[in-house]
Amino acid sequence: MDFVVSKVAMSACALMVVTILAGMVEQGMLFDDRSELEGIVRQFCSLAGRMMTTGSEAKVGWTVPSLADGQGIEFRVERRVVTGKADEMASKMQPMFDIHTWEWDGRGLNESVIASFDGASPGIVAVSGRTVFLEASSVILDDEPRLLLFASLPA
């Protein structure tokens, strides 16, 4: 009788282990889309921050990735907010530095002109697979050189 009871107990334990493992490999456990989306937005903002803290001019292309499960995302860059969207999920983050989405034409700037350009610029939107260019450029601001960060899409 002990033999039968131990086999039943071992079978029940085996079923519990299989159930737990099946739950762990469920797609929702492997791919946490919300955390991944937040990580993508954080990665972009971190890149922008590193570009500005170097203190020198640079231009970098960053390709908007898809989520690990292949789902595409919509990526939006505005002056003070970077947003990633996928289905009903969204992740927003404020970068350390303003990201301007208008094209500088080389003329001298001041804070009110920058605010005007920023207000008139709708931001840029890219989807998975598209490249967003970040460019740290030295501009003339109030008759002094200053580094500003610009985001653009290729023509």
Q: Return the structure tokens found at 73.
A: 């995302």
Same domain assignment for residues 105 and 95: yes
Q: How many domains does the chain have?
A: 2
Work out the pLDDT band at 14, boundaries 50, 70, 90: low
Same domain assignment for residues 76 and 111: yes
Structural domain that includes position 130: 32-152
Model pLDDT, residue 6: 66
> What confidence tens digit (pLDDT) does each residue in 53-90 have?
999 999 999 999 999 999 999 999 998 999 999 988 99
Nearest to 37 by CA among 13, 64, 59: 64
CA–centroid distance for 111 within its chain: 28
Same domain assignment for residues 16 and 80: no
pTM of the model: 0.77
